[in-house]
Structure 1
Amino acid sequence: MKSLVFSRPGMFEETRFEKIHNIIFEDSQTPSKLVAHEISQLIRNKQQKKEFCVLGLATGSSPIKVYEELVRLHKEEGLSFSNVITFNLDEYYPMDKGNIQSYFYFMYEHLFNHVDILPENINIPDGKVSAEDLQQYCIDYERKIKALGGLDFQLLGIGRTGHIGFNEPGSHYNSSTRSITLDHITRVDAAPAFLGVDNVPRKAITMGIGTVMSAKRIVLLAWGNNKAEIIQKTIEGNVTSEVPATYLQNHSNTTFILDEEASKELTRVKTPWLVTSCRWNDSLKLKAVVWLSELLNKSILKLTDSDYNNNGMSGLLTEEGTAYDLNIKMFNTLQHTITGWPAGKPNADDSKRPERSTPERKRVIIFSPHPDDDVISMGGTFDRLVEQGHDVHVAYQTSGNIAVSDEDALKFAEITQSLCPDCSETQNIISFLSSKTKNNIDTVAVRKLKGLIRRNESLSATRYLNLNDENVHFLDLPFYETGTIKKKNISNEDISIMEKLIVDIKPHQIYAAGDLADPHGTHKVCLDALFYALEKLKKNDFMSDCWVWLYRGAWHEWDTYQIEMAVPLSPDQVLKKRRAIFYHQSQKDGVMFQGDDSREFWVRAEDRNRLTAKKYNDLGLADYEAIEAFKRYHF
């Protein structure tokens, strides 16, 4: 029987496509709390019966907010873990417990150090068990779970290969706890935490599919658009060992908890007109027409009545009259997104343009999470804003220091030592970097050096784009300054820094990174900091004249139907943008946080901008060299 927490009417619309119960939320915050409350309810019910509560727990970024809420429930609402026995899904092999990348370290940092669970009730696969003893160790781990009657509740995440735990493609339905070789994609996804894919272990210990499937209740969490494709395959595809998570279709008490981004490829979200009758608002009409045009490889103005009727959109034609009328309307909607004047064209009719014509000279803030996102994501638009005479400010929200390799930092330190042989701080940096091990966190001095490398690369790029240095702001938001991949929670100090800059400049335009698929989460925290600041400032008079435009980073682009401002780039501007990106030398040639794409950032940016232009052209619009895309955020 499914939890009452997730059984409210209207929360799940079962369709012929979907084979697993799933619930979609706007973001991850609310559902994480609901999952935590389901777990706490289970723990308390077991306490009343004087029984143990056996939990299967996951690691990674997905369950962090669940654990935060469980800790809060313990500290503020008296939730006791004295009757809880936990079994973690997996651990890298080999792996020391004290290694900051170990799942042992993760679980104690996020949960076990903060609640009253008995140490002897914590079970995490031992990444240091000898190779000779490993098989028997896995058998004993399995037996211990079975001796307790199996798992009462299993919390899961999902990898892009479809793995649950570390059950990679090919895992058998009846598999039990065992050693496994990690898929390359899994290792690439883990690379940021290990500062490079070469440092990620190639093996792991994992509970098996059979072990997971024996749990009485399973909840799987998936956040972000980088999980959308595998979520669609898992929920709507056939059961196959090539996507191990599809085995969950055969579990009678499983719920997938998704945010909007992770659900976007589900049929009822992506193409709801194929599932049920739709309420056709303007946004859904545009989405449907763009989809149909791309599906049939026809420009919008060539779509016919039969094209709509044969693809589930007869209801739309009933509302609009004819394909001709609808095509013209949607074509014009897209046409009006295109502008060479991102801050508005002076003395022009702005009724069919994405931005206002007044004031002619606008104050603009470009927020850049890392010190290169501005030029990677909107370098051409940046150039246009400066050329067209606006008062442009760039605010680098974080120092970006963790993305500078030790080799680069050592090179600069040795150059500095050559210029200043008696500088003790430089010598300390060289000594630290020369003897640094995997578990060493960079010293403050090393972080400062790495931050200065990023800062001066940024200044070189902004000077190339003719922006004055006084218009470049380095915010160094405190949440980022930990020296590790794991960051602090966003604080009032972070938000206040954002607020102060906005109040000082009183912008007419704000550009910010709306790319939530950033592989190490900094983009999302920076965006949240902006949203919190806007919420606190929105009652100020100047904010009524401030428009916010969101760009996306090196990982993804807005879908065509989502774009509200499309800024075309000429071939010369594409080259100029490339040169601006090149000034960020520490992020070229084998960048530390490459993600799942081996191309360099400038190549990704150009390919993405050219693809956006091609999509517009395929829809029947003008043929541009490249396009940078933006979506407006209404606060």
Structure 2
Amino acid sequence: MARLNLLEETRFEKLPVKVYKDEQSASVKVAKRIAKIINKKQEKGKKAVLGLATGATPVKVYEELIRLHKEEGLSFKNVITFNLDEYYPMQPDENQSYVKFMDENLFNHVDIPRENINIPDGTLDKDDIADFCLNYERKITEVGGLDLQILGIGRTGHIGFNEPGSAPNSGTRLVTLDDLTRRDASRDFGGKENVPTKAITMGIGTIFKAREIILMAWSKKKAPIIKKAVEGEISGSVPATYLQLNDHVEFILDEDAASELTRFDTPWLVKDCSWDKAQIKKAVIWLSNEVGKPILKLTDEDYNSHGMAQLATEKGPAYNINIDVFNQLQHTITGWPGGKPNADDTQRPERAEPAKKRSIIFSPHPDDDVISMGGTFIRLVDQGHDVHVAYQTSGNTAVWDTDVLRYIEFAIDFNRSIGEDTTKLEKIYDNIDTFIAEKRPNDIDLREIMDIKGFIRKTEAIAGARYAGLEDENIHFMALPFYETGKKVKSPVTEEDVKITMELLQKVKPHQIFAAGDFADPHGTHIVCFNIILEAINRLRKTEEWTKDCWLWMYRGAWQEFDIHDIEMAVPLSPQEVARKREAIFKHQSQKDTPVFPGDDEREFWVRAEERNSETALSYHNLGLANYEAIEAFVRWKF
């Protein structure tokens, strides 16, 4: 019976999938499977042949393998490795090289013989690539074939660098990279224009010959492509779907990457559900969108014909369910994000008391506050609350080098105009100009350049916060140390980051904290900053009484929005308020037009914000609620 239930639950899935709570626990399991293969081969006096991947996905697997080597004696002396791919052209000592990646993340920390390591050669003459690829395939065959191939997955559905259009029987070869793949790699290279257009990759046919294949994926960013790969039709437009043809493949996912699979996203389509309040709300909103009707117009027939007959039977009739969900949504809408004074707050998302609240908006980058919740920010100030804003990082990696020169030129001209000596400034200018002219992608900036970029972002943040109505004493620049590296890969969070945050919280003693819950941020800064806040407030909750009356609201930024069924506070904006928010965003001039790191969305940040807010408002309206110009959405963190 249990087997039948499992088959029913996974009937949309066309290959085996295991889901773990998080990336860490999943990575440990994969590492143990690799270690088991190595040890079994060692016992038989044979070589273990591993196909390895690069990128963020396997990093924790490699960390665990290193731990097993150092603490439990796992030896790599009998291991031969073949990496999936390498950019072309690429020198092995470049920061973006997969040779360097593998050395730093695995090979330099274990006892694998260097002659057993095989990685596609990005330094070859083009005329020599075809022969190299044939030899790469031949060498895999000569050592007995791959015992295990580990894979990640790109948002194009690529495995290795087998982009859409790749043939299922393709071998190792030179390929052209998809534009989305290059955009995703742009931060590693200091801009998409610096990302190679080609790569050498194992083919899908090569991957298929492995005796075991494990594809790993973490985070909600990968959820849409995972759904296509696992549940979609086999298609050359999503190369990972070819894995459905292999009997020796398994997908290893964390809960976020698996979140759009049918059994998790719409479980009522595959099994009987335990209908709690949250599940009912999600299902009814889904049904409303599915049939294109407002919630209050849904019928029992709509429920029955869309996999929700159980809900209608257990909790119905349908109209009663509709009214309950409609009321829940209606109660999320408030024009008083700080609470409405002297009002019944039973059905409101925020407390009425105290009437004047101390609110602190944490902004990971210097513009997230106005991009993500600029309308709410302005309204909190207008409604008389004691609002503070805290910029957690300087954002000094996201300024164009040309802006640095422009600001120094301004400083030189200004000093000349008031009769000041400009010799020192001119020397700094010449030094910076020379450095920028010779700078390679992702070189660490000179300290003076980092400082100037930080000053630019700081003055813009001050202008935006002042426009929102804040006095200067309520504007805080934290400059958390983890960020101040000058590199795309930031330092680990330390006690100092938490201490700085705790001190600010103790100074303000807020009733409300607003923090970025936008964990799809491709640069990872948002989730790091959020976790620092969480650690700080959790420590303070042990000893400080004011924390018991402090609520934490999460907002989302330029990368995504909360699902409607998750939203707990929806702040509607009028057309005039949308215009005011836009002006606050415009104060961040260095991020206008073309920001340094736009991600894979070509729209400017202010356009993204406006369109996202208007889409949220439209979603509410389509469900049968009022037709607002825009809505900013929040979810309350439950301590």
TM-score class normalised by the smaller sequence: over 0.9
Residue in structure 1 matched with residue 30 of structure 2 by the alignment: 35
Preserved CA contact (<8 Å) 1:179 1:204: yes
Amino acid at match of 1:558: F
Q: Does 1:502 align with 2:505?
A: yes
Preserved CA contact (<8 Å) 1:569 1:624: yes
Residue in structure 2 matched with residue 302 of structure 1 by the alignment: 297
Residue in structure 1 matched with residue 555 of structure 2 by the alignment: 551
- C-alpha displacement at 1:47, in angstroms? 2.5
Alignment coverage as a number of residue pairs: 628
Q: Distance in 2 between matches of 1:311 and 1:586?
A: 49
Amino acid at match of 1:517: A
What is the aligned counterpart of 1:66 among 57, 61, 65?
61
Residue in structure 1 matched with residue 518 of structure 2 by the alignment: 515
What is the aligned counterpart of 1:565 among 561, 566, 569?
569
Q: Does 1:116 align with 2:111?
A: yes
Partner SS state of residue 92, structure 1: strand
Q: Distance in 1 between matches of 2:10 and 2:443?
A: 51
Partner SS state of residue 480, structure 1: coil
Instruction: Sort the Cα spacing of 1:139 and 1:75 in 2 relative to 1 into closer, same or farther, 3 A.
Output: same
Q: Distance in 2 between matches of 1:117 and 1:14?
A: 42
Amino acid at match of 1:523: H
Q: Distance in 2 between matches of 1:53 and 1:262?
A: 30
Q: Distance in 2 between matches of 1:258 and 1:394?
A: 37
Identity fraction in percent: 59
Residues 187-220 of structure 1: CA deviation (Å, up to 9, x unaligned): 1111121121111111000011011111122221
Residues 503-562 of structure 1: CA deviation (Å, up to 9, x unaligned): 332221111111121122211222222233333333232222111111111111011111
What is the aligned counterpart of 1:356 among 334, 337, 351?
351
- C-alpha displacement at 1:467, in angstroms? 0.8
Q: Does 1:433 align with 2:436?
A: yes
Instruction: Sort the Cα spacing of 1:287 and 1:568 in 2 relative to 1 into closer, same or farther, 3 A.
Output: same
- C-alpha displacement at 1:9, in angstroms? 13
Residue in structure 2 matched with residue 202 of structure 1 by the alignment: 197
Residue in structure 1 matched with residue 215 of structure 2 by the alignment: 220
Amino acid at match of 2:278: S
Q: Does 1:88 align with 2:83?
A: yes
Spell out the pairing of 1:320-331 with structure 2 (5 A cutoff): 320-331=315-326
Residue in structure 1 matched with residue 603 of structure 2 by the alignment: 599
Residue in structure 2 matched with residue 400 of structure 1 by the alignment: 395
Preserved CA contact (<8 Å) 1:55 1:152: yes
Spell out the pairing of 1:176-195 with structure 2 (5 A cutoff): 176-195=171-190
Residue in structure 2 matched with residue 5 of structure 1 by the alignment: none
Preserved CA contact (<8 Å) 1:417 1:426: no
Amino acid at match of 2:463: S
- C-alpha displacement at 1:595, in angstroms? 1.4
What is the aligned counterpart of 2:151 among 151, 156, 164?
156
Residue in structure 1 matched with residue 623 of structure 2 by the alignment: 619
Q: Distance in 2 between matches of 1:116 and 1:581?
A: 52
Instruction: Sort the Cα spacing of 1:464 and 1:439 in 2 relative to 1 into closer, same or farther, 3 A.
Output: closer
Residues 96-137 of structure 1: CA deviation (Å, up to 9, x unaligned): 111111212222222222222222122111111111111001
Residue in structure 1 matched with residue 124 of structure 2 by the alignment: 129
Q: Distance in 2 between matches of 1:217 and 1:110?
A: 23
Amino acid at match of 2:290: L
Preserved CA contact (<8 Å) 2:89 2:199: yes
Instruction: Sort the Cα spacing of 1:257 and 1:491 in 2 relative to 1 into closer, same or farther, 3 A.
Output: farther
Preserved CA contact (<8 Å) 1:613 1:623: yes
Preserved CA contact (<8 Å) 1:23 1:256: yes
Residue in structure 1 matched with residue 418 of structure 2 by the alignment: none
Residues 79-110 of structure 1: CA deviation (Å, up to 9, x unaligned): 32222222111111011111111212222222
Q: Distance in 2 between matches of 1:599 and 1:15?
A: 38
Q: Distance in 2 between matches of 1:331 and 1:187?
A: 43
Partner SS state of residue 510, structure 1: strand
Partner SS state of residue 241, structure 2: helix
Q: Does 1:483 align with 2:478?
A: no
- C-alpha displacement at 1:253, in angstroms? 2.6
Partner SS state of residue 105, structure 1: helix
Instruction: Sort the Cα spacing of 1:415 and 1:68 in 2 relative to 1 into closer, same or farther, 3 A.
Output: farther
Partner SS state of residue 401, structure 1: coil
Q: Distance in 1 between matches of 2:121 and 2:5?
A: 43
Amino acid at match of 1:570: S
Q: Distance in 1 between matches of 2:445 and 2:507?
A: 34
Amino acid at match of 2:564: T
Q: Does 1:580 align with 2:575?
A: no
Instruction: Sort the Cα spacing of 1:473 and 1:223 in 2 relative to 1 into closer, same or farther, 3 A.
Output: same
Preserved CA contact (<8 Å) 2:189 2:442: no
Partner SS state of residue 179, structure 1: strand
Q: CA RMSD in A?
A: 1.9
TM-score by length of 1: 0.95
Amino acid at match of 1:608: R
Q: Distance in 1 between matches of 2:232 and 2:246?
A: 15
Residue in structure 2 matched with residue 628 of structure 1 by the alignment: 632
Residues 409-434 of structure 1: CA deviation (Å, up to 9, x unaligned): 22222323333332344443333223
Preserved CA contact (<8 Å) 1:99 1:439: no
Partner SS state of residue 238, structure 1: coil
Residues 276-325 of structure 1: CA deviation (Å, up to 9, x unaligned): 00000111100000011111111001111111111111111122221111
Q: Does 1:46 align with 2:50?
A: no
Q: Distance in 2 between matches of 1:478 and 1:68?
A: 24
Preserved CA contact (<8 Å) 1:413 1:429: no
- C-alpha displacement at 1:439, in angstroms? 5.4
Preserved CA contact (<8 Å) 1:14 1:21: no
Partner SS state of residue 306, structure 2: coil
Residues 588-623 of structure 1: CA deviation (Å, up to 9, x unaligned): 111121112111000010000000001101111111
Q: Distance in 2 between matches of 1:316 and 1:530?
A: 39
Q: Distance in 2 between matches of 1:30 and 1:554?
A: 30
Amino acid at match of 1:414: E
Q: Distance in 2 between matches of 1:538 and 1:365?
A: 17
Partner SS state of residue 373, structure 2: helix
What is the aligned counterpart of 1:471 among 474, 480, 503?
474
- C-alpha displacement at 1:66, in angstroms? 1.8
Q: Distance in 2 between matches of 1:369 and 1:376?
A: 12
Q: Distance in 2 between matches of 1:447 and 1:234?
A: 42
- C-alpha displacement at 1:60, in angstroms? 1.3
Q: Distance in 2 between matches of 1:237 and 1:264?
A: 15
Q: Does 1:333 align with 2:335?
A: no
Partner SS state of residue 403, structure 1: coil
Q: Distance in 2 between matches of 1:387 and 1:542?
A: 24
Q: Distance in 2 between matches of 1:205 and 1:550?
A: 42
Preserved CA contact (<8 Å) 2:9 2:271: no
Q: Distance in 1 between matches of 2:155 and 2:54?
A: 15
Amino acid at match of 2:474: N
Q: Distance in 2 between matches of 1:172 and 1:119?
A: 32
Q: Distance in 1 between matches of 2:6 and 2:50?
A: 26
Query: Which sits farther off after the overlay, 251-260 or 239-248?
Result: 251-260
Instruction: Sort the Cα spacing of 1:250 and 1:188 in 2 relative to 1 into closer, same or farther, 3 A.
Output: same
Amino acid at match of 2:487: T
Q: Distance in 2 between matches of 1:430 and 1:219?
A: 48
TM-score by length of 2: 0.95
Residue in structure 2 matched with residue 451 of structure 1 by the alignment: 454
Instruction: Sort the Cα spacing of 1:479 and 1:68 in 2 relative to 1 into closer, same or farther, 3 A.
Output: farther
- C-alpha displacement at 1:260, in angstroms? 2.7
What is the aligned counterpart of 1:313 among 285, 308, 313?
308
Structure 2: runs of 5 or more not aligned: 416-421
Q: Distance in 2 between matches of 1:353 and 1:522?
A: 32
Q: Does 1:383 align with 2:383?
A: no
Instruction: Sort the Cα spacing of 1:343 and 1:25 in 2 relative to 1 into closer, same or farther, 3 A.
Output: farther
